[in-house]
Amino acid sequence: MANHKSAVKRAQQNKVRRMRNKSYKTRMKNAINKVRMDIVSKSGDIQNDLNRAVSVIQRSVSKGIIHKNKGSRIISRLTHHVNRSLNI
């Protein structure tokens, strides 16, 4: 446990930020999984769900939740899978 006043404050800030980051990551993962489920079931508006997922991923990158290269990689792979599923 933290002994100094500044360490106590830092621990509390870390807890709040961890919970906030967790909610952003969960939202991002849910959006990604929705696109993947649409691809597998070939139902739903795949392109619209992809656009929403890209928006959520980019928002997570801008807030520093994930690294920009990881965000770009996820978007690229999702787009690739969507394009393959729409062309088949």
Q: What is the pLDDT of residues 25-74, one digit of tens each?
A: 999 999 999 999 999 998 878 999 999 999 999 999 999 999 999 999 99
Contact (Cβ atoms closer than 8 angstroms) between residue 35 and residue 53: yes
Q: Is the pLDDT of residue 1 over 80?
A: no
Question: SS3 sequence, the chain?
Answer: CCCCHHHHHHHHHHHHHHHHHHHHHHHHHHHHHHHHHHHHHCCCCHHHHHHHHHHHHHHHHHCCCCCHHHHHHHHHHHHHHHHHHHHC
